[in-house]
Amino acid sequence: MSPPAGLLPWPSPSTTRLAPPTPTRPPPRTTRVRSPRLLLLPLTLAFAFLPLRLLRRHHRLASSPPRQNQPPPPSLCHPSLPPLRLRRPPASIASTSGSTCSGCTHEVDLDKPPVLQEVANFFKGHGVGDFTFSRGRLSQWRCRAKLAVRGTPENPLIGLYQEGTHVVTDIPECRAHHPSINAAVKLLRQGISELNIQPFDEDAGTGELRYVQMAVTTYNTSIPVDKRYEQGRVQVSLVWNSRDERSTNAEKLTLLIEFLWRNGGPKSNFHLIHSIWANFQTSASNIIFGHKWRHLKGERDLWERYGGVDISLDPCSFGQANTLSFNSLLHKLNKYVPRGSTVVDLYSGAGVIGLSVAASRKCRSVKCVEINKQSKMSFEKSASRLPANLGCSITWHNTDASVEPAHWLEGSSVVIVDPPRKGLHPSVISALQKVALSEHKAYKAKSSLAKVKDEKRPWILRAREAAVHVDDTTTEESSETWPETLIYISCGWESFKKDCKSLISSKAWQLENAHAFNFFPGTDSIEILAIFKRESEAGRKKKKKAKKKAK
């Protein structure tokens, strides 16, 4: 088989064989009759001296010093990428071409983010003795990338903006990217040049291709588990500068899609592309995606395995870039969910965390709350693959968790929050504080007063109804139940510190456990999994009595 156009050739076994010597002189024109013994004499002598030659060659190789930094043979998975020769991180994690981009803030000690010591000291100062840090994979970890497309057809730039600017830095061989993404970017660059696709010009608002999103799926049950990650395939989403597929420049979009599918699809020499989508965006703002999506080639559903559950993610759905570290976080999270819990998952997205908790068979009910209505379809598809007879009622609600958050906390014993980088909404913080500090009956009376206002806002009542109800198992959720456990997942350290101090300063919650994960090696970002416990009223009375006795 030959590789796609523009990629390096496959390693061939024939390159290791010794070619027969070519004659230095042309054969004589006259024909002479020679004796058979004379004909066999040169061949006999050659075989006689062959052992001696091989012995000398073996002695020379054994006595010579080993070569330094000898590269391994090219990978059969992605022949377009140079092999990683070093165990330690390369000089620049961003690119082997020497260019730098805003994706990485430091190049050494990738397993020790600069903020790690501050994080460890913070939790130690708040009484967390078993704080742990998971370093994860340090290269080829990013399975989801959004890249800007600028430059010219002859020299397209596909990469990230330089910090504080809209100048795109080309990153053709990013060490953080999964190898499949780098191979797909190289194929896209070739298609842009060959088909004369015009990259987007922000100043003039002209051009055809604005951005591209690459998402890797390692879900492939036809190959061994240990081979699935390195042989991941790419879902390509092209952000086209037009209103829809009927625009004047849609013909070039069709040509580009056919080029990618012909050279990277299932009928190509190397199956790299999982599917191709188009997103249409004409806005002059910095928003990457428009509202119109079209599935054009390949499988419609991109499946991945998270927390023991098959998850379907549309290109418009949020997905974690570091799938390996995210799975480690889910495995750790499930240990802190008590058996028999009633769980509410705020900021749930496509419901990955909630479905993973439901699949653990430890819960009586799981409610997922998400504001993005486009995540509903992904949740439905993922829930359809859950194991049968979980004994758990699972619902998904399309609403804003910051509006009347007390409604979602009521009847739940565990609340899971995974907010955006800016942290929890003040209304959610306030509701969590009141839950922990108020008497159950008193707080129930306050929350019931809001129902009078709901009658004037019917959209809140509709939002509280389950948009998706997976299991018919009926569970009796007592309105007297309030969260005893708060599981906080954070991608923004500064916002987490602020929220954490708000929760523990009023003695509403106690910080019991904390773990950190290296989701973005090469940056100062760190993912936090923190476990808070609410002290019961009986426990607080016991402490007061103990203090009085001590006095």
**Average pLDDT of the residues in 363-370:** 94
Global pTM reads 0.75
Supply the DSSP string of 106-130, one letter for each residue.
-SS-TTS-TTHHHHHHHHHHTT---
CA distance 220 to 398: 31
Chain segment 57-107, per-residue pLDDT in tens: 444 444 444 444 444 333 323 333 333 332 333 333 444 444 556 678 877
Which segment of 20-29, 138-147, 335-344 scores lowest on mean pLDDT? 20-29
CA distance 104 to 432: 36
Q: Residue 368: which of 324, 408, 335 has the closest Cα? A: 408
Q: How confident is the model at residue 128, as a pLDDT?
A: 95
Q: How confident is the model at residue 216, as a pLDDT?
A: 97
Q: Give the confidence band of 164 by pLDDT, cuts at 50, 70, 90.
A: confident
Chain segment 312-332, per-residue pLDDT in tens: 998 988 889 999 999 999 999
Q: How confident is the model at residue 348, as a pLDDT?
A: 93
> Do the Cβ atoms of 275 and 297 come closer than 8 Å?
yes
Classify domain 320-548 at the CATH class level: alpha beta
Q: Is 111 annotated as belonging to a binding site?
A: no
Domain boundaries, the chain: 57-112+142-300, 320-548
Q: Is 403 exposed, middle or buried (0-12, 13-18, 19+ CB in 10 A)?
A: middle
- If one counts every other C-beta atom within 10 angstroms of the C-beta of residue 370, the result is 25
CA distance 309 to 387: 9
User: Residue 518 CA to chain centroid, in angstroms?
Assistant: 13
Q: Is 320 annotated as belonging to a binding site?
A: yes
Chain segment 9-67, per-residue pLDDT in tens: 333 333 333 344 444 444 444 444 444 444 444 444 444 444 444 444 444 444 444 44
Q: Is 347 annotated as belonging to a binding site?
A: yes
Q: Is the pLDDT of residue 384 over 50?
A: yes
Q: Is the pLDDT of residue 271 over 90?
A: yes
Q: Is the pLDDT of residue 213 over 90?
A: yes
* Fold of the 57-112+142-300 domain: OB fold (Dihydrolipoamide Acetyltransferase, E2P) (2.40.50)
> Do the Cβ atoms of 538 and 513 come closer than 8 Å?
no
CA distance 391 to 371: 27
Q: How confident is the model at residue 74, as a pLDDT?
A: 33
**Strand ranges (E), 241-313:** 273-280, 292-298, 303-306, 309-312
Q: Is the pLDDT of residue 182 over 80?
A: yes
Q: Residue 198: which of 151, 256, 243, 257 has the closest Cα? A: 151
Q: Which residues neighbour 385 within 8 Å (Cβ) at sequence distance 6 or greater?
A: 309, 310
CA distance 132 to 328: 12
Query: What is the rounded average pLDDT for all residues in the chain?
Result: 79
Q: How confident is the model at residue 548, as a pLDDT?
A: 60
Q: Is 370 annotated as belonging to a binding site?
A: yes
CA distance 292 to 235: 17
The residues annotated as belonging to the active site are 491
